[in-house]
Structure 1
Amino acid sequence: MSVDLAWLDNMTLAELETGADRIFSRLRKEAPIAWVPALNAWIATTWSHCREIAEDAEHFRGGTSPAHDRVFGQPNVLSAEGQTHGELRRVIDPPLRPRAFKPTLDTTVRAAVRARLDELAGRTHVDLLADYFEPVSVRCVADRFGFTHISTDRLQRWFHSLSHAAARGLVDPEAYKGGDAAAAEIREVVEDMVERLRGRPDESAISHWLHDGMPDGEVRSIEHMLPSLLIILLGGLQEPGHACGSTFLGLTTRPEHLRRVVENPTLLPKAVAEGLRWLSPLFSGASRVPNRDIELSGVRLRQGDTVWLCYGSANHDEAEFDRPEMYDLDRPAHGHLAFGTGRHACSGSAFAPQIARIALEELLARHPGIRLEPDHEIIVRGWMFRGATELPVRMPR
């Protein structure tokens, strides 16, 4: 029996932004792969379909969108394939692997986290997202890349400008202005860094990108690096902070679980993993494009169509998870797709959870009685990038 999907015809992007949980829950049941006119694209919403498409290099190539091409440029690590993709990953991945960052976690990430908490000392009411999680996230990621001289406020502005342009540009061309300005600023900063690092390589990720595998005295061009750098910066500046937000918000829905984590911080890695599953920050940030016409689960996908992989929806697939809408610290071990899967999986999948773990550990150690403002409604929104819009809390002294 066919399913009537006429309700999708008039659905707007605004409705998708505000009603993603309800919409994706319905699609998982009625049409796991569905055409959404507002996106001019297909969306895959279940665990099995997201994995199948993401891991099928024969029939699907890395995807992008007109908005992403407009904001980031080409070639970029999201859509590149073959030799170009392999070369990009070879220079992007090594600085973000555990053996590269673990030896300096305490002197870099933990130091930055404690410095931010010191700045908040004495304040009893803060927006945890804007005042702590985001600043810590952008600071730690930027420092890893070598942007130690860029202020945290400026980094946050870059993040919000690029994010807004990527998510809203197709329906609101004005959104591109902020993204263009941020990209131009980043390019100017990187140009200065290239001149400094050309003859004096250091331990930063940018230095590695410039020099790795290049002949002596030569560095990679900015044109080759910048599109992927913008993508990595956007994901990197966003994911750890919003992983913190998802985890903290999830824990507050289960006060006994929050208490357990306060008393036993060794539970934090599991708490962060469940937060990433429960409210995935990069909800639909990846896409694929069929190399040829293909039929999947009775749906005909045409060569060149865009298929968005809704990993956040897959992480709520009732066929994979018991009561997926519930944050559960005691959930049986099960992987999640918050960082994607396959050859285009997120490069920061090891680094981001470490930032989140340390940020939450230090916060709860200093403010074990922290709690959400009781009379404030928490609003969660977004279909591409998803999370709470703010987290107002009380931090008893």
Structure 2
Amino acid sequence: MSDTTTDFSVEDIERDPYSIYARLRKDNPVAYSPALNSWLVTRWDDVRFVTTNPELFKAEDDNAPVVKYFGKPAIIHADGDVHRELRQGVAPHYMPKKVASYIDDLVRPVARDCIAAMDTSKPVDLVDAYFEPISVLTLARSFGVTDVDVATLRDWFHGLALGAINFSDDPERARICEETKAKIDAAMAPVFERIEKEPDSSPLSHMMYHGMPEGERRSRAFIMPSVLVTLLGGMQEPGHGACNTMIGLMENPDQMAKVRGDLGETLRRAVAEGVRWVAPIGTQIRATTQDIEIGGVTVPAGQTVSAVLASANRDEGVFANPDRFDIERPETGLASFGFGAHFCAGKWLALAQMELAIRILLETFDEITLDRSQPYEFFGWEFRAPTTLYAHLS
């Protein structure tokens, strides 16, 4: 194992993952990280191999932070019949045609309220004032959680994220995650009680009832780990993906102009490129079922393996000039939503929400430019986005 060990710290990879990934892809594409207690697989072909061979790499991994802190069965860490049952409770609400039927009514009122509240006489933080509120409020409202404010919802996903990324078992991160879960349990209790009496069309009701025999439902305990996964992914991924895309567009005014000229297909390509360039979610986690060779390196059975989607998206063997944001690059694939049976069930909702949030912003403001006096900084490796994004809007 020593020949394939990499020595970065958690702080290193949270600050600048892409330089680490580039070095690993070149010199050590299958490497064990003591800091993360996980093997990192960083090249496109190897990432696909890990995520599409469930007989060799199982999703159920008791060492994965999501399992440790969210419980099980969690939809992203379940296999076989359990995974299929959880997936059928989630997927129907997030299929493309279904999403198209409700996305406008879900996103547009929130976006309108966010824009109305902006003070555009000074630079606006688009993370705080627009993209994160849209992301958390639309997901919460679709779940039937209507009486929790934006600040609390943002605390929820930040608290859950600290558990989901806690590969190093940091006790403070664990404490914050546990406190967050308790708050979510309390807020969700009346929602569960309501749909247990009267099922509705919400995703939460789908998770409880879809595919079940007449008169039966899944228990709260069975679906709650997956509810937490959905809350975390659904509340942060669309907002952060839209932020990442807007940075790419604002840093490249020629590409911004092309998107403004076509808020349909060109915007779609821009969003896809944005989540390739900076993937909001960085990995799919697996556990080896046997000793297995990956990219010429033998990984022992029972090891946690992180298939690094964010790194696959910048594999030089797949993408020309991968560090560049380029909405006109050939569409050769996208790792951001994962591969195999566990690809992100919310992919179509996330993409539609990002596209609509950006479209509304561009339709409202004729000019959107970065405020260079308050530069943005990306942070995170498992969940990556700017902490702030100040822009001039006119």
TM-score bin, normalised by smaller chain: over 0.9
Q: In structure 1, what is the equivalent of residue 131 of structure 2?
A: 133
Q: In structure 1, what is the equivalent of residue 55 of structure 2?
A: 58
Q: Give the drift of 1:119.
A: 1.9
Please give the secondary structure, in 1, of the residue aligned with 2:39.
strand
**Aligned-residue RMSD, C-alpha:** 1.9
What are the equivalent positions in structure 2 for 1:151-170 lying under 5 Å apart? 151-168=149-166, 170=168
Q: Give the drift of 1:381.
A: 2.3
- Relative to the length of structure 1, the TM-score reads 0.94
Listed one character per residue, the Cα deviations across residues 247-276 of structure 1 (whole Å, up to 9, x for unaligned) are 001112211111221232122111100001
Q: In structure 2, what is the equivalent of residue 274 of structure 1?
A: 273
Q: What amino acid sits opposite 1:366 in the alignment?
A: T
Please give the secondary structure, in 2, of the residue aligned with 1:235.
helix
Question: In the alignment, which of 14, 31, 35 is matched to residue 34 of structure 1?
Answer: 31
Listed one character per residue, the Cα deviations across residues 222-267 of structure 1 (whole Å, up to 9, x for unaligned) are 1101001101110111110011011001112211111221232122
Which sections of structure 2, spanning at least 5 residues, go unmatched?
Answer: none
Q: Give the drift of 1:315.
A: 0.3
What are the equivalent positions in structure 2 for 1:17-32 lying under 5 Å apart? 17-32=14-29
Q: Give the drift of 1:63.
A: 4.8
- Alpha-carbon distance in structure 2 between the residues aligned to 1:99 and 1:47: 30
Listed one character per residue, the Cα deviations across residues 175-214 of structure 1 (whole Å, up to 9, x for unaligned) are 1222112211222233211221123111111111122233
Listed one character per residue, the Cα deviations across residues 338-393 of structure 1 (whole Å, up to 9, x for unaligned) are 00010111111100011111100111111121111123332222221112221111
Q: What amino acid sits opposite 2:16 in the alignment?
A: G
Q: In structure 2, what is the equivalent of residue 360 of structure 1?
A: 358
- Alpha-carbon distance in structure 1 between the residues aligned to 2:256 and 2:60: 39
- Alpha-carbon distance in structure 2 between the residues aligned to 1:225 and 1:68: 14
For these two proteins, the number of residue pairs brought into alignment is: 392
Q: In structure 2, what is the equivalent of residue 331 of structure 1?
A: 329
Q: Report the more deviating stretch, 235-244 or 207-216.
A: 207-216
Please give the secondary structure, in 2, of the residue aligned with 1:202.
coil
Contact 1:63 1:288 in 2 (8 A): yes
- Alpha-carbon distance in structure 2 between the residues aligned to 1:307 and 1:71: 18
Q: Give the drift of 1:62.
A: 0.6
Please give the secondary structure, in 2, of the residue aligned with 1:265.
coil
- Relative to the length of structure 2, the TM-score reads 0.95
Q: Report the more deviating stretch, 271-280 or 162-171.
A: 162-171
Identity %: 34
Q: Report the more deviating stretch, 104-113 or 135-144.
A: 104-113
The question of 1:108 aligning with 2:110 is answered no
Q: In structure 2, what is the equivalent of residue 212 of structure 1?
A: 210
Contact 1:211 1:220 in 2 (8 A): yes
What are the equivalent positions in structure 2 for 1:61-100 lying under 5 Å apart? 61-64=58-61, 65-100=63-98
- Alpha-carbon distance in structure 1 between the residues aligned to 2:2 and 2:124: 43
What are the equivalent positions in structure 2 for 1:188-267 lying under 5 Å apart? 188-266=186-264, 267=266
Contact 2:120 2:392 in 1 (8 A): no
- Alpha-carbon distance in structure 1 between the residues aligned to 2:256 and 2:370: 12
Please give the secondary structure, in 2, of the residue aligned with 1:354.
helix
Q: In structure 1, what is the equivalent of residue 305 of structure 2?
A: 307
Q: Give the drift of 1:8.
A: 5.3
Name the CA shift for 1:370/1:107 in 2 (closer, same or farther; >3 Å): same
Q: Give the drift of 1:145.
A: 2.1
Contact 1:245 1:387 in 2 (8 A): yes
The question of 1:45 aligning with 2:42 is answered yes
